[in-house]
Structure 1
Amino acid sequence: MSTFALTGAAVFDGETVREGVAVVVSDGLVEAVCRRDGLPRDVERRHLDGGLIAPGFVDIQVNGGGGVLLNDMPTVEGVRRICEAHRRFGSTALLPTVITDRPEVTYAAIDAVGEAMRLGVPGCVGIHVEGPFIAKARKGAHDPALIRPMTEAELKRLLATTVRPLLLTVAPESVSDDQIRRLAAAGIIVSLGHSDADFATAASAFHAGARCGTHLFNAMSPLGHREPGLVGAILDDPEVWCGIIADGHHVHPTSIATALRAKRGSGKVLAITDAMSTVGVEEDVFELNGRRVTRRAGRLTLDDGTLAGSDLTMIDAVRYLRDVVGLPMAEVLCMASLYPAQFLDDASRGRLVPGARADLVWIDAGGRLGRVWLGGGLR
């Protein structure tokens, strides 16, 4: 692959926005971010018309896209189509997510992601298994008939998996602290979600090795004045990360802003989409575990009105956090790229520094996604 320099736009390098610089890409990696007037004369220049170059987005919770749900197509092709759909909206790395289902579906999805990673399917960097070991009291759109406690046999089957990163959402009501310890010791990232646990139970699970909260505020015990709940446990622990769905439907913008101010531990809140199959396609109706989900004005619901994932893309989340919540663009971009890369312990993404993957997005002056590069190649 030839060496080239991207010029004409400001650059967010993962920490700060820099003016008057260029991003030099060589063999799929970032070679340098340097002053434009210091570029060698023989380097090919690819000029952009203002705007901002930033690291590609990293999304840890993607149920589907491009007309595909991972639960319905737990295959390499299903993974590929989901990644392709979201790459159009700036997500250059993601965790395909399988929600509560029958064991054969869950493990087919895990195997498919493992094979996709082996084959180098662009953008697939691990898997998120959300359920079935959650609480029926906070099931959200998960099928209650498929929710169950974690048995010793299912624990051992998870421990035998080799796909990493493997993010596993559980509820402390369905998974014991000892099981969490064993999962964490095997390199599985345990997240608490779809849970009605009280503060003490949640804090104990975090002490046992859980280190994330799944879609903060949604499908979890709320922050109360006498009982802080799971929300309070997540916000109080400086070592705990959490995702948040910034789509205007799942969480009020004031709640997002308040949570960001209250969260102990800097850089621990991640922008996620929790996206479903509707992203990138025109079809407004699909099935989830045999139940109808309908998209109306960007909102996905079951027939009873329950929210069922989102129609969100990462570039839309970026704009919402900047324009509606009022966050500085640099912090928003960290939430969309640097912080999730750090959460996954992936030093190759989230920053534009020498040796990093040349996974890039160009956001024009109006906040629209202009171009996406994956490994230095324009997508």
Structure 2
Amino acid sequence: MSEEPRRMIAADVVFDGESAHRDCAVAIEGDDIAALILRREIPRGADVLKLPKGVWLAPGFIDIQVNGGGDVLFNDAPTPQAIATILHAHRKFGATSLLPTLITDTDEKMIAAKRAVTEIMPHAPGVLGVHFEGPFISPERLGVHRADLRRAPSPHHVDMLAPPRGGVSLVTLAPEETPPGFIAELVSAGCKVALGHSMANYAQTREAMKEGLTGFTHLFNAMRPLASREPGPIAAALESSSAYYGLIVDGEHVDPAMLRLALRAGLGHPMLVTDAMPPVGGSGKGFALQGQEILVRDGRCETAQGALAGASLDMASAVRNCVSLLDLPLERALVFASTNPANFLGLGKRLGRLVAGYRADMTAFDPQTLRIVSTWVAGERSADEW
């Protein structure tokens, strides 16, 4: 890096992933952050972008569960073009990187999804890899996943699910529906493994964690509930300091009282996820999901029978809801949106903080409304202004 970085972004408040700094600037050199400096120490003649008064600058949000956006569903179109549309739709809500998520589908569709991610990643640094949510899930906790597509794993699935070149592979499964050692094989192949759509009991969950499972997909939803004599996966997640659990903070999927309780009791690392469907960043009021008609009613994506089918949530709203519904400080909500998911994916030394040596993925926003002002990915500012 040169002694005087060429570009600087100055803000009233810069949140670096741990602390908020007033009257600071982030210095960018190429793709990376070169330094965080006081505004009064900016060299004379430097190329400085001054953000509007009151605006915060923070690490870009990282969403590890994105089914769709911009009126596109990844299962319907597992192509680089569809991923680009989804990525653009979510960026306007502060998500600078994400995992396109394929719910339970055929092997052919899974192969196509991984191929599409592999193709787009060199051209779209905001795509971090792929999330396979299923197909090894419980018939008792399907949600809107198709029962006829769920199945037991075969030996070839380990190679199929291995991470795309240069990226991350997250696999959500039900441990009780997989043979002993399968999770360990996935972990050895480089996958991140999460429990979800599962009826695993407490003992089964603990065994899965011994094999290397570290994540819990949309905690509380589509899993065995917490009970007095069978604590199940929820207790196993909350009592482990090494666990990472996704939370859908939309006021619909989980009652805010339960989330507040989990955040007080949990020793692990909460992550905000959207579980977003095509209407996020799009114009449609409904969509088809593997043959089911899904409508958006009062912010809920639901089937004709009223069952939840993903969410119409975006990351900026999830952060705002943490403050308004869960009574959290903004800084803590921002950690849930960026630092924790980066660490879970094994990218915590590159993403999720605004410090020297990290990639310059940033989001600027109004701290009162969480309206996104601008975003940067690998130092490149979005061409859009919101």
Band the TM-score falls in, shorter-chain normalisation: over 0.9
SS at match of 1:79: helix
The residue type paired with residue 224 of structure 1 is A
- Of 68, 91, 94, the match for 1:90: 94
For residues 257 and 364 of structure 2, the distance between their equivalents in structure 1, rounded to whole angstroms, comes to 28
Whether contact under 8 Å (2:68, 2:74) holds in the other structure is yes
4+ aligned runs moved over 6 Å, structure 1: none
1:212 to 2:219 alignment = no
The root-mean-square deviation of aligned C-alpha atoms, in Å, is: 1.6
User: Is 1:16 aligned to 2:14, yes or no?
Assistant: no
Paired with 2:367 and 2:59, the residues of 1 have a C-alpha distance of 17
Q: How does 1:320-339 map to 2 (within 5 A)?
A: 320-339=321-340
**Runs of at least 5 residues in structure 2 that lack an aligned partner in the other structure:** none
1:351 is matched with 353
Determine the C-alpha separation between the residues in 2 that align with 1:351 and 1:263.
23
Residue 71 of structure 2: aligned partner? 67
Count of aligned pairs between the two proteins: 376
Q: Do 2:66 and 2:101's aligned partners in 1 also have CA atoms closer than 8 Å?
A: yes
Distance 1:179 1:26 in 2: 43
Aligned pairs for 1:24-173 within 5 A = 24-48=27-51, 49-117=53-121, 119-159=122-162, 164-173=167-176
Partner of 2:251: 248
**TM-aligned CA distance change 1:163 to 1:362, over 3 Å:** closer
2:227 is matched with which residue?
224
Whole-angstrom CA distance in 2 between matches of 1:95 and 1:292: 24
Using the alignment, how far apart are the partners of 2:176 and 2:307 within structure 1? 22
| Alpha-carbon distance in 2 for matches of 1:127, 1:160 | 8
TM-score, scaled to structure 2:
0.94
Letter in 1 for 2:231: P
| CA drift at 1:162 | 5.0
- CA positional deviation for 1:20: 2.1
Distance 2:248 2:298 in 1: 16
SS at match of 1:136: coil
Distance 2:129 2:323 in 1: 28
Cα 1:373/1:287, change in 2 over 3 Å: same
Contact 1:164 1:187 survives alignment (8 Å): no
Code of the residue aligned with 2:365 in structure 1: it is I
What's the CA shift for 1:355?
1.8
In the alignment, is residue 201 of structure 1 matched against residue 201 of structure 2? Answer: no
User: Partner amino acid for 2:271?
Assistant: L
CA distance in 1, matches of 2:250, 2:14: 26
Superposition deviation, residue 154 in structure 1: 3.1
> Could you say which residue in structure 1 is the equivalent of 2:182?
179
TM-score after normalising by structure 1: 0.95
User: How far 1:159 sits from its partner (Å)?
Assistant: 4.9
User: Alpha-carbon deviations, 1:27-62, whole Å to 9, x = none?
Assistant: 232121111111100112222222211010011110
Show structure 1 runs of 5+ residues with no match: none
